[in-house]
Amino acid sequence: MVRVGLPAVLAAACLVGGCSGFLPAAGPTASAVAEGADIATDQGLLARYEIVDVNAAVVEALRGRPLDSLLASFGDQRPSVQPVIGVGDAVTVTIWEAGSGGLFSAPMMGGMSTGSKSSSIPEQIVARDGTISVPYAGRIKVAGKRAPDVQAQIEQELAGKAIQPQVLLTVNSPLSTSVTVLGEAAAAGGGAARLAASRAVGPVSNLGGGRVPLTEKGDRLLDVIATAGGVSAPVNETFVRLSRGATTATVPLTAVVSNPRENIFLRPGDTLTLVRDPQTFLAVGATGANYEIPFSAEGITLAQALAKSGGLRDFQADPAGVFVFRFEPASVVRRLHPGSPLLTANFVPVVYRINMRDPNSLFVSQAFRMRNRDLVYVSNAPFTEVQKVLSVFSTVTAPLASGASLYSATR
């Protein structure tokens, strides 16, 4: 009895003495996570992270977590004003006359008209001073004006020189009223490529994107993405990054699709970048699998995350030691812990603790939403540490016991 009980007594004594700190482990115990939130210093306790016990109230508070919003960042939902001609646009001017023999029509031959009564001026780019050249009318200011206004101006300049001139101005390449689309747009050959080829809007790279001109009616964000050929990455992994002037906002494409208010009108000069960012979480500790796991859907709950990671190991996991490590905006932590000393930073390290021994936690885990780059950690059960110590003592004492048995047998 003494021989059998001695290893257990020694193991218990070693655990009390802190031997478990030298044993292999996948991470801290549940008690270590709770005790590590504050660390003792000369000035007192220093908070390192917040521990939040997850319940229905916490889940409801997290629903109001602030997210980037295109509507909040750029505001105005009205379509852009009617496009005007700008510097860099390619335009063509065609002039008709009421009779033959004028400046822009073929001469009469034998009293009969043998030619056209119109003439097209070759395509030209609006110069940096905002002008184009029209024969017999000189330099015409077109930048910042609508096509009908420029047509009337040219007709006025040609009055008395041409025979009742009528002018048509066509903008072939409206670069000044276009949106630049970059990133995970559909590959060349999609809508942007065809549009670039047909309207000379600009080159489209093999990675997708290019310049997409805005139409007279005004174009929303999803309209421009569709014109650019759509997205090449899965929708749930695609983020929309819109830059306008000095303001940039990034939102999930799913948020734009599901909320029509986020599908805002774009403006000339906007830069739209489609970024692929696969949503993943890390599973470590006493779970069935320890690696980075993709969401594989628009969003998953903690219950789904535990299932994807193989669940809790029966003979190792501590059901009361399930944690989610995450950096939360200070505004969220202010609702959870109004007096937190960590609110001086923009983002606060938070550890969410779920006690899976409580049957109600199964409901809570189905409502707790996972975030990109969350870390799910399951600690070892206390008895697991005892087993490790007993295993170490067994390894040490087994040769001694064998030697003692052999010695007794030889005697």
Q: What's the pLDDT score for residue 399?
A: 65
SS3 of residue 54 by DSSP: coil
**CATH number of the domain that 150 lies in?**
3.30.1950.10
pLDDT band (50, 70, 90) for residue 22: low
Q: CA angle 55-26-299, nearest 5°?
A: 45
Looking at the fold, whether 260 and 286 belong to one and the same domain comes out as no
Q: What's the pLDDT score for residue 43?
A: 64
Q: What's the pLDDT score for residue 2?
A: 44
Whether residue 316 is predicted with pLDDT greater than 90 in this model: the reply is no
Judged by average pLDDT, the poorest of 29-43, 143-157, 216-230 is: 29-43
State pLDDT tens for residues 138-194. Answer: 999 999 999 999 999 999 999 888 888 999 999 988 888 889 998 887 643 344 444
Residue 260 located in a structural domain:
yes
- Closest Cα partner for 124 from 102, 104, 140? 140
Q: CA angle 287-290-295, nearest 5°?
A: 95
- Return the sign of the alpha-carbon dihedral for residues 307, 312, 314, 320: negative
Q: What's the pLDDT score for residue 198?
A: 43
Q: What's the pLDDT score for residue 99?
A: 76
Whether residue 195 is predicted with pLDDT greater than 70 in this model: the reply is no
Q: What's the pLDDT score for residue 409?
A: 65
**CATH number of the domain that 272 lies in?**
3.10.560.10
Looking at the fold, whether 255 and 267 belong to one and the same domain comes out as yes
Q: What's the pLDDT score for residue 203?
A: 39
Looking at the fold, whether 377 and 286 belong to one and the same domain comes out as yes
CA 82 to chain centre: 31
Looking at the fold, whether 259 and 286 belong to one and the same domain comes out as no
Q: Provide the residue range defining the domain that includes 131.
A: 89-173
**Mean per-residue pLDDT, 71-96:** 84
Residue 70 located in a structural domain:
no
The DSSP letter of residue 264 is P
Instruction: Say how far apart CA 232 and CA 238 lie, in whole Å.
Output: 9
Whether residue 408 is predicted with pLDDT greater than 60 in this model: the reply is yes
Q: What's the pLDDT score for residue 213?
A: 87
pLDDT band (50, 70, 90) for residue 19: low
Looking at the fold, whether 221 and 239 belong to one and the same domain comes out as yes
* 256, 70 contact by CB (below 8 A): yes
Q: What are the backbone dihedrals phi and psi of residue 265, each rounded to the nearest 5 degrees, phi first?
A: -75, 140
**Mean per-residue pLDDT, 301-321:** 91
Q: Name 22's Cβ contacts closer than 8 Å, sequence gap at least 6.
A: none
Residue 94 located in a structural domain:
yes
Q: What's the pLDDT score for residue 233?
A: 86
* 377, 309 contact by CB (below 8 A): no
Looking at the fold, whether 319 and 364 belong to one and the same domain comes out as yes
Largest CA distance in the chain: 144
Looking at the fold, whether 288 and 317 belong to one and the same domain comes out as yes
Of the two residues 344 and 6, the one the predictor is more confident about is: 344
Query: Mean pLDDT for the chain?
Result: 80
Give the length of the chain. Answer: 411
**Mean per-residue pLDDT, 203-216:** 63
**Mean per-residue pLDDT, 188-211:** 45
* 364, 354 contact by CB (below 8 A): yes
State pLDDT tens for residues 75-87. Answer: 766 766 778 899 9
Q: What's the pLDDT score for residue 55?
A: 93
Looking at the fold, whether 287 and 263 belong to one and the same domain comes out as no
- Closest Cα partner for 209 from 274, 296, 293, 116? 274
- Closest Cα partner for 329 from 319, 311, 342? 342
Looking at the fold, whether 183 and 270 belong to one and the same domain comes out as yes
Q: How many domains does the chain have?
A: 3
Pairing of strands 131-134, 138-141: antiparallel
3-state helix vs strand vs coil in the chain, percent to 5: 30, 30, 40
Looking at the fold, whether 236 and 165 belong to one and the same domain comes out as no
Residue 403 located in a structural domain:
no
Q: Name 70's Cβ contacts closer than 8 Å, sequence gap at least 6.
A: 221, 240, 242, 249, 251, 256, 262, 264
- pTM (2 d.p.): 0.68
Instruction: Say how far apart CA 145 and CA 267 lie, in whole Å.
Output: 17
Crossing angle (nearest 10°) for helices 2-17 and 382-410: 140
Ranges 1-10, 298-307, 383-392, 396-405, most confident? 298-307
Q: Which amino acid is at 384?
A: T
Whether residue 11 is predicted with pLDDT greater than 60 in this model: the reply is no
* 226, 191 contact by CB (below 8 A): yes
Residue 8 located in a structural domain:
no
Residue 71 located in a structural domain:
no
State pLDDT tens for residues 120-142. Answer: 889 999 999 999 999 999 999 99
Looking at the fold, whether 100 and 165 belong to one and the same domain comes out as yes
Residue 84 located in a structural domain:
no
Residue 151 located in a structural domain:
yes
Residue with tokens 């609006």: 126
